[in-house]
Structure 1
Amino acid sequence: MSDSPTIYKLFAAKIDAALSSLEAEGVLPAGTSRQNVAVEPPRDSSHGDLATNAAMVLAKPAGLNPRVLAEAIVAKLAADPSVASAEIAGPGFINLRLDPAVWLAELSAIATLGSDFGRSQMGAGRRVNVEYVSANPTGPMHMGHCRGAVVGDALAALLEFVGNEVTREYYINDAGGQVDVLARSAHLRYREALGEEIGEIPEGLYPGDYLIPAGEYLAGELGDRFRDVPEEEWLPIFRAEAVEQMMELIKRDLALLGIHHDLFSSEAALHGAGKPDAAEAWLREHDLVYDGILEAPKGKTPEDWEPVELPLFRSTKFGDDQDRPIRKSDGSWTYFGADLAYHMEKAKAADELIDIWGADHAGTVKRIKAAVAALSEGQGKPIPFDVKLVQMVQLMKGGQPFKMSKRAGNFVTLADVVDMVGKDVVRFTMLTRKPEAQMDFDFDKVVEASKENPVFYVQYAHARIRSTMRKAAAEGFAPSGDAIDLLGAEELELIKQAAQFPREVEAAAKAREPHRIAFYLYDLAGAFHAYWNLGNDRPDKRFIVAENAALTGARLFLAEQLGQVVRNGLRILGVEAVEEM
């Protein structure tokens, strides 16, 4: 589909046409770059509906005073019937006030486009790989994973909404020592399922009850033949079976949040296919890995430290503070070496990579970015790579730290939290702050029916609209776009707010910040609730004016389109637009 026609794109085209006309007249030099010309809302809405910096950015290459060029541009724009007024502000900014018919046409455009309002082809089919969650497969999802899961999922939906081809990927860290611990823990529960009294879970094993079903499944599948045999006989089997069981548990937990990945990539499979070895060979071929002595640790050097020659990646060439080893002294792969190979694999099927990581991984961002930059250089293909760091969530209740029962062992499960407050509350709340900012998740506040609770405030706006539609239908009224010219100044302000949606979507997608959509929806809901309250004081401003069917139809039409915009935004966030509350 093509881009949604929006006010900003429409007037960007009009301003572009005015500049082309000035070029033809010799006012502007031919071929003057217009790359930095912007059309956006003025900082102060009292200054008008739109503002452009065209005169400011083009005056110098044109050899003109900005205000002189602004006057020439204004003369062109003022002749357009859709422009009510064009004024010059300050050194040469241009503020435009639009004819009300422009906003009414935008309202009709929302109705025509429906669920596609706000979509665009900005992404132009670019393949974007978004990797998120990627928790170790050693137990159920906990609240430490929740925020990154929601941010990644909403970002994937946002990028799809603007025309990207998105792959949602989960990287299974199933090759480390923690998986052996999982296998041993599962074997203990397997013996328990066979009737053995296992007593207290030994230190170093996973104690959570979530492994009891895994043990019972393994007992049913394998019988008792691995109960008393040496570890080396059962460990590989239990490792694979336990990971599979845990991944099924993780997928069920993620499904509670409406999250489903397209691709699950296994670190163990990566090693099994020799991908890290292939990556090292490729990097050596391109002089990006060499054998060298790792620098001594900064600060006080440990007594047992010895200089060892290791294969080092030239990450300093790409902005890192030191070159990084891809193998350990025993020849096994470092986490970085495996991650490097994994990102090389991902890049083969994508034009852009985005990783969502916990803030505790901040120290590894620079080296992985260096690795992807090296890959780009070696392949001659630029691969944009972004890492979004997500801070932890502090569970609260009534403003105090909250300790839930920890059936999983030593952490609060995502399933418990979703069970307490619901999927939509969890998802929306996780997007009410920038991901890099600390967040408190207060169980009382997130279900509070007040303006201070963004989840409630936005959903209540939609529920109010739907309730109004039901009431209107019962009284014999229906939305109608035939008389929308009856709408007044207050209603036009609502339309202006709704018309911002496509621009907000593209801005959020460019910045890779889905929380901007949540912020926008909160502001739109606020504008709607303010208008609703106006009707409480002035009956003539209510959506249903019994004695004026035409005006009622127009206002219902407005409400219907506001509801559509709210639904479109909530769909990006993975949150339901409720019918009643």
Structure 2
Amino acid sequence: MMNLFSDIRAVVIASLDAMVAEGVLPEGLDFANVAVEPPRDAAHGDMATNAAMVLAKPAQMKPRDIADALAAKLMADDRVALAEVAGPGFLNLRLETGVWAGVVQAALENGAAFGRSDLGAGRKVNVEYVSANPTGPLHVGHTRGAVFGDALASLLDYAGYDVTREYYINDGGAQVDVLARSVYLRYVEAHDLSVDWPEGSYPGDYLIEVGEALKAKVGDAYLDKGEEHWLEEVRDFATDAMMDLIRADLKSLGVEMDKFYSEKSLYGTGLIEAAIADLKAKGLIYRGTLEPPKGKVPEDWEPREQMLFRSTAHGDDVDRPIQKSDGAWTYFAPDIAYHYDKVQRGFDELIDVFGADHGGYVKRMKAAVSALSDGRVPLDIKLTQLVRLFKNGEPFKMSKRAGTFVTLRDVVDLVGADVTRFVMLTRKQDAPLDFDFAKVLEQSKDNPVFYVQYAHARVCSVLRKAQAEGWDVSDATLARVDLSGNAHEAELKLATKLAEWPRLVEIAARTNEPHRIAFYLYELAGELHALWNRGNDVPELRFLQDNQDASLPKIALARATAIVISAGLGILGVAPAEEMR
């Protein structure tokens, strides 16, 4: 697959190898940190390489001397029009204009596969996201984690990884007992009886239907009975109902999981014990007493001997308790077992997407996976920050069927799944996000969703008009068109931006940062709109000319842009617009 930056980097490395063979550079240099990337200022050229700067110290040479020699080598390549040394040893490259025509052709020939990468080489990666407690509908905070995790999974798939999307059902803790008791109260209400809601229960309206469904199933069998007669059955019934609700919420957002993994399945199956035994065999489990918490020590704190995981041996700040003094497992124990199971399932990499309130969990979880996999399986934990809702700049409140929060479904019903997903990816996931319901529906450049969709719709409009003229504007035909006439600065800027796509995909996949795709699409759309607007003043830049031969090279450039926009939106889980309404 064409990646122009990788191709030019290969030329740079080959030139450096030749310089070593000729004795210009010493042997044994490591070229791993030699990069070829877009220059910070487009006026400096099409690409820049840091080769001279990173090799100067190990080579014990002046950067400029290396850059001068490297520039001479690079000028021998047919694609390099100019290799220019700047400052202390930066090397800026300008490429022949014909190179950009090759980029457009590659996009047209490869279609949706243009930019796909074999970076992942089929490595198995597990992306766990959402994993909300099954106690109610998903709220707006879960929405961000769902969108981020889903886009990340799609990005990794696009970059050649074998991806599993997974949801961890937290159905093993006390919160599911609270859910069961809350459903029981709705069940009692369904029999037209009054109830008192204790503090800490779930009084949201969403449980009314569940209580009625329970009544339909069991009649009055649980009325006036102690919870020892119904708690377990109602807990299972309520959890299943909530997971049905959560699956429906996720589907409304376009999110479908490959696997739902129940925390409850870890208990009584020997999995927790097996995970702890694995750590014990590695000398990482011991009985000991932890130091008191840092800062103000709680009045009821007293030293207790517990079973501890020596997580400090794998980068944690303190060792962690996994079993309480009464023999019950801590919350950390099933999480260790769950990740032990992931390692046992043969994943090469693990990614967990957590809410911002899980920051204290990062080091201990990384330590656990490092220990369980003997350092073989990396775990990347991504924390998603809060979403603040606004309308016309004012904090926005809705009628909350959930009782205490704005639901995912409320947001999707108001603005649609595509807008929700794109907007959630317009900030890095660890930065707070302001979601203004008025702004995300604006038809302006300030609204990135509209701006990108409008660019795609404009190209579709051009194609429809060309087809109405009876012209063949299939990708196969456009790929064979002579593009040498697309030499105006605005056309070359658009083609140059297209060339960045395969590189951008790999960078985003390496860093697990799908928001980079959204940023890139906004910039690419900007170049398309700029070229369109230049056509208002310079008629020969318009995508539709007086005749087919003059039009096809322009249409080819526009269509290549639409291919990349469509592929990028596909990664984000957004359908490209064919027309704007």
Give the TM-score band, short-chain normalised: over 0.9
Amino acid in structure 2 at the alignment position of 1:338: P
In structure 2, do the counterparts of structure 1 residues 396 and 345 end up closer, same or farther at CA, with 3 Å as the change threshold? same
Superimposed CA distance per residue, residues 345-367 of structure 1 (whole angstroms, 9 cap, x where no aligned partner): 11222111111111111112121
The residue aligned with 2:244 is: 248
Instruction: For residue 380 of structure 2, give the secondary structure of its aligned residue in structure 1.
Output: strand
1:63 shift after superposition = 4.7
Q: 1:308 aligns with which of 294, 304, 307?
A: 304
Q: 1:338 aligns with which of 328, 334, 338?
A: 334
Which deviates further from its counterpart, 512-521 or 406-415?
A: 406-415
In structure 2, do the counterparts of structure 1 residues 74 and 304 end up closer, same or farther at CA, with 3 Å as the change threshold? closer
8 Å CA contact 1:483, 1:551 repeated in 2: no
The residue aligned with 1:118 is: 115
Does residue 436 of the first structure (1) align with residue 440 of the second (2)?
A: no
Q: 1:359 aligns with which of 356, 360, 368?
A: 356
The residue aligned with 2:126 is: 129
Q: 2:24 aligns with which of 24, 27, 50?
A: 27
The residue aligned with 1:567 is: 566
The residue aligned with 1:188 is: 185
Instruction: For residue 575 of structure 2, give the secondary structure of its aligned residue in structure 1.
Output: coil
The residue aligned with 1:454 is: 448
Superimposed CA distance per residue, residues 91-118 of structure 1 (whole angstroms, 9 cap, x where no aligned partner): 2222211111111011100011110111
Instruction: For residue 395 of structure 1, give the secondary structure of its aligned residue in structure 2.
Output: strand
8 Å CA contact 1:487, 1:551 repeated in 2: no
The residue aligned with 1:257 is: 253
Instruction: For residue 70 of structure 2, give the secondary structure of its aligned residue in structure 1.
Output: helix
8 Å CA contact 1:478, 1:556 repeated in 2: no
The residue aligned with 2:578 is: 579
1:200 shift after superposition = 5.6
Whole-Å separation in 2 of the counterparts to 1:19 and 1:94: 13
Instruction: For residue 419 of structure 2, give the secondary structure of its aligned residue in structure 1.
Output: helix
8 Å CA contact 1:483, 1:550 repeated in 2: no
Mapping of residues 36-55 of structure 1, within 5 Å: 36-55=33-52
8 Å CA contact 2:278, 2:372 repeated in 1: no
Question: What is the RMSD computed on CA atoms of the aligned residues?
Answer: 1.7
The residue aligned with 2:95 is: 98
Which deviates further from its counterpart, 82-91 or 154-163?
A: 82-91
The residue aligned with 2:487 is: 488
The residue aligned with 1:160 is: 157
Amino acid in structure 2 at the alignment position of 1:205: S
Whole-Å separation in 1 of the counterparts to 2:132 and 2:219: 30
8 Å CA contact 1:393, 1:438 repeated in 2: yes
Amino acid in structure 1 at the alignment position of 2:456: H
1:405 shift after superposition = 0.2
Superimposed CA distance per residue, residues 142-171 of structure 1 (whole angstroms, 9 cap, x where no aligned partner): 112111111111111111111111111111
1:385 shift after superposition = 1.0
1:337 shift after superposition = 1.8
The residue aligned with 1:327 is: 323
1:465 shift after superposition = 1.0
Whole-Å separation in 1 of the counterparts to 2:27 and 2:290: 57
Whole-Å separation in 2 of the counterparts to 1:68 and 1:410: 66
Whole-Å separation in 2 of the counterparts to 1:178 and 1:188: 15
Whole-Å separation in 1 of the counterparts to 2:388 and 2:65: 56
Does residue 527 of the first structure (1) align with residue 527 of the second (2)?
A: yes
8 Å CA contact 2:350, 2:380 repeated in 1: yes
Superimposed CA distance per residue, residues 208-247 of structure 1 (whole angstroms, 9 cap, x where no aligned partner): 1211222232223333323333211211111111111110
Instruction: For residue 578 of structure 1, give the secondary structure of its aligned residue in structure 2.
Output: coil
Does residue 5 of the first structure (1) align with residue 2 of the second (2)?
A: yes
8 Å CA contact 1:462, 1:578 repeated in 2: yes
The residue aligned with 1:410 is: 404
Whole-Å separation in 2 of the counterparts to 1:305 and 1:62: 59
Instruction: For residue 326 of structure 1, give the secondary structure of its aligned residue in structure 2.
Output: strand
8 Å CA contact 2:188, 2:195 repeated in 1: no
Whole-Å separation in 2 of the counterparts to 1:455 and 1:166: 27
Instruction: For residue 269 of structure 1, give the secondary structure of its aligned residue in structure 2.
Output: helix
Amino acid in structure 2 at the alignment position of 1:74: A
Mapping of residues 351-390 of structure 1, within 5 Å: 351-377=348-374, 381-390=375-384
Whole-Å separation in 2 of the counterparts to 1:338 and 1:518: 36
Which deviates further from its counterpart, 20-29 or 501-510?
A: 20-29
Amino acid in structure 2 at the alignment position of 1:528: L
Whole-Å separation in 1 of the counterparts to 2:290 and 2:72: 67
Instruction: For residue 210 of structure 1, give the secondary structure of its aligned residue in structure 2.
Output: helix
Amino acid in structure 1 at the alignment position of 2:525: A
Superimposed CA distance per residue, residues 403-439 of structure 1 (whole angstroms, 9 cap, x where no aligned partner): 1001121111111110010001100000001111111
The residue aligned with 2:281 is: 285
Instruction: For residue 323 of structure 2, give the secondary structure of its aligned residue in structure 1.
Output: coil
The residue aligned with 1:558 is: 557
Which deviates further from its counterpart, 184-193 or 559-568?
A: 184-193
The residue aligned with 2:344 is: 348
Whole-Å separation in 2 of the counterparts to 1:412 and 1:60: 56
Whole-Å separation in 1 of the counterparts to 2:264 and 2:255: 24
**Can you give the 5+ residue segments of structure 1 that lack an aligned partner in the other structure?**
none
Superimposed CA distance per residue, residues 70-107 of structure 1 (whole angstroms, 9 cap, x where no aligned partner): 23322222122221111122222222111111110111
The residue aligned with 2:385 is: 391
**Can you give the 5+ residue segments of structure 2 that lack an aligned partner in the other structure?**
none
8 Å CA contact 1:534, 1:541 repeated in 2: yes
Whole-Å separation in 2 of the counterparts to 1:450 and 1:428: 15
8 Å CA contact 2:127, 2:351 repeated in 1: yes
In structure 2, do the counterparts of structure 1 residues 550 and 52 end up closer, same or farther at CA, with 3 Å as the change threshold? same
1:61 shift after superposition = 4.2
8 Å CA contact 2:541, 2:554 repeated in 1: no
Amino acid in structure 2 at the alignment position of 1:315: S
Q: 1:150 aligns with which of 144, 147, 150?
A: 147
Whole-Å separation in 2 of the counterparts to 1:276 and 1:427: 36
Whole-Å separation in 2 of the counterparts to 1:504 and 1:300: 47
Whole-Å separation in 1 of the counterparts to 2:261 and 2:268: 12
Superimposed CA distance per residue, residues 491-545 of structure 1 (whole angstroms, 9 cap, x where no aligned partner): 1111001111111111111111100000000011111111111112332321111
Does residue 228 of the first structure (1) align with residue 228 of the second (2)?
A: no
Instruction: For residue 484 of structure 1, give the secondary structure of its aligned residue in structure 2.
Output: coil
Amino acid in structure 2 at the alignment position of 1:527: E
1:37 shift after superposition = 1.5
1:324 shift after superposition = 1.4
Which deviates further from its counterpart, 7-16 or 67-76?
A: 67-76
Whole-Å separation in 2 of the counterparts to 1:169 and 1:421: 26
Whole-Å separation in 1 of the counterparts to 2:334 and 2:153: 25
1:292 shift after superposition = 0.9
1:62 shift after superposition = 4.2
Instruction: For residue 486 of structure 1, give the secondary structure of its aligned residue in structure 2.
Output: coil
Which deviates further from its counterpart, 42-51 or 247-256?
A: 42-51
1:471 shift after superposition = 1.8
8 Å CA contact 1:477, 1:552 repeated in 2: no
Whole-Å separation in 2 of the counterparts to 1:366 and 1:24: 46
The residue aligned with 2:291 is: 295
Whole-Å separation in 2 of the counterparts to 1:138 and 1:255: 18
1:136 shift after superposition = 0.2
Amino acid in structure 1 at the alignment position of 2:559: E
In structure 2, do the counterparts of structure 1 residues 304 and 33 end up closer, same or farther at CA, with 3 Å as the change threshold? closer
Q: 2:417 aligns with which of 401, 423, 436?
A: 423
In structure 2, do the counterparts of structure 1 residues 328 and 87 end up closer, same or farther at CA, with 3 Å as the change threshold? same
The residue aligned with 2:174 is: 177
Amino acid in structure 2 at the alignment position of 1:346: K
Amino acid in structure 1 at the alignment position of 2:77: D
8 Å CA contact 1:53, 1:94 repeated in 2: yes
> What TM-score results when the alignment is normalised by the length of structure 2?
0.95
1:35 shift after superposition = 1.5
Whole-Å separation in 2 of the counterparts to 1:121 and 1:294: 47
> What TM-score results when the alignment is normalised by the length of structure 1?
0.95
1:176 shift after superposition = 0.9
